DNA sequence: AAAATATGTCATATAATTGCGACATGGAAG
DNA sequence: CTTCCATGTCGCAATTATATGACATATTTT
């Protein structure tokens, strides 16, 4: 019951993430329920999207905060954040897309928007700190680094989906490539 | 006349790239024509998509081949290829998506598919050569590097769209980040 | 200016999507 | 075994998307 509801929301996030005008039938199919069941849980598309938004915000916020708090070393925090967002999968991808692009924002100043801004500024602060300490390059702007970050999540998700890269190597690849791409100075052995 | 047709195709590529189920009205609006005009040029959605596919293949193929031939230095070829694909914009993004993901492939073994395979194998060969010469790392697989490449294009396009990164820096940022992400060995001064 | 060409406007037919009521079914809980 | 609850099946109306014909208007060609 609650399980079904969650399954539908998760399915919707996946479907709408790469097909915003996708039909509710696609969502239902992905969730392995009939459309009739879907409509029992969600009055209409708008409501469903609201639940998606809520779910994405909640999940991503929790995952990212947990990553932050799992270490006090800034660089480690960044690495853990990357892994956390990868684990959020489409939830992160869609969450980021909806908050980045204005088209998706129905009414500015709502709860989910503030949540995003909060996590976001914390993440940006981390980047700036790393730049100040010369751990990553200052040749790149924080805005670009942020694009690289979400870009790397998307790349990783696509790679996982494509199936021709060993799943257990992927996260390591992602961190390797991302850390280099932001001009990390080589880590010394000790 | 031919101009309008091209405008519609270009608009369709942009629209369908980030909304595969987007309506033809969206396409028409983006192309700044009425839907009636759109239907005069394209019998139906399927035909329009076919033209998109053709246009993407043609444009991307030309751009990438030109990039290859503009230099004999493998690393320079890679850099130029990146720039070329960025310049193709949504055409490259959608081209890559349709060829990467099986969902889009209507019938395997068609003309456009073969074109893609050809460009693709050339690009992969370039990567393998660079790895063999230890110019880029061999810790990453060519498949992952390919994902990084198309991921970087997408990241760049999004960054350009977001508007808060100076357009003239973006391509340089892209190459900086991409080259590092594939473990390029530091270029010596001379 | 007249003819030809391209596009827009409006009406309309068909198909697909959306959303819900009524009832059937099938499994879990009592 | 029976009741309850979730889901499925079927049917239907409302809405939206797709596609085209008929005609008006604007622009370009001759």
Q: pLDDT tens digits, residue range B67-97?
A: 999 999 999 999 999 999 999 999 999 999 9
Distance CA A82, CA A76 (A): 10
Digit-coded pLDDT (tens) for B134-181: 999 999 999 999 999 999 999 999 999 998 888 778 999 999 999 999
Contact B162 A154 (CB under 8 A): no
Mean pLDDT value across residues B48-58: 97
Contact B151 A158 (CB under 8 A): yes
Q: Does the C-beta of B133 come within 7 A of strand C?
A: no
Distance CA A6, CA A21 (A): 21
Distance CA A91, CA A11 (A): 10
Q: Does the C-beta of A33 come within 7 A of strand C?
A: no
The alpha carbon torsion through A161, A167, A169, A172 (nearest 10 deg) reads 60
Q: Which nucleotide is nearest to B22 (CA to C1')?
A: D17
Mean pLDDT value across residues A3-25: 98
Residues of B in contact with A19 (CB under 8 A): 19-21
pTM here is: 0.93
pLDDT higher than 90, residue B113: no
Most confident of A64-73, B96-105, B180-189: A64-73
The answer to whether B116 touches B57, Cβ cutoff 8 Å, is yes
């Amino acid at each position: 019951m609650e399980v079904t509801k969650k399954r539908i929301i998760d399915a919707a996030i996946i479907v709408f993430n790469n097909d915003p005008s996708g039909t509710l039938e696609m969502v239902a199919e992905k969730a392995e329920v009939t459309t009739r069941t879907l409509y029992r849980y969600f009055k209409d598309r708008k409501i469903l999207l609201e639940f998606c938004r809520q779910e994405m915000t909640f999940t991503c916020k929790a995952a990212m905060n947990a990553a932050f708090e799992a270490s006090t070393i800034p660089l480690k925090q960044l690495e853990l954040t990357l892994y956390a967002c990868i684990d959020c999968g489409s939830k992160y991808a869609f969450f980021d897309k909806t908050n980045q692009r204005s088209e998706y924002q129905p009414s500015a100043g709502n709860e989910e928007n503030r949540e995003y801004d909060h996590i976001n500024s914390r993440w940006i602060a981390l980047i700036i700190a790393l730049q100040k300490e010369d751990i990553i390059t200052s040749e790149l702007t924080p805005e670009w680094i942020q694009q690289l970050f979400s870009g790397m999540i998307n790349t990783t998700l696509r790679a996982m989906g494509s199936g021709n890269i060993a799943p257990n190597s992927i996260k390591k690849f992602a961190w390797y490539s991302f850390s280099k791409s932001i001009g990390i100075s080589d880590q010394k052995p000790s």
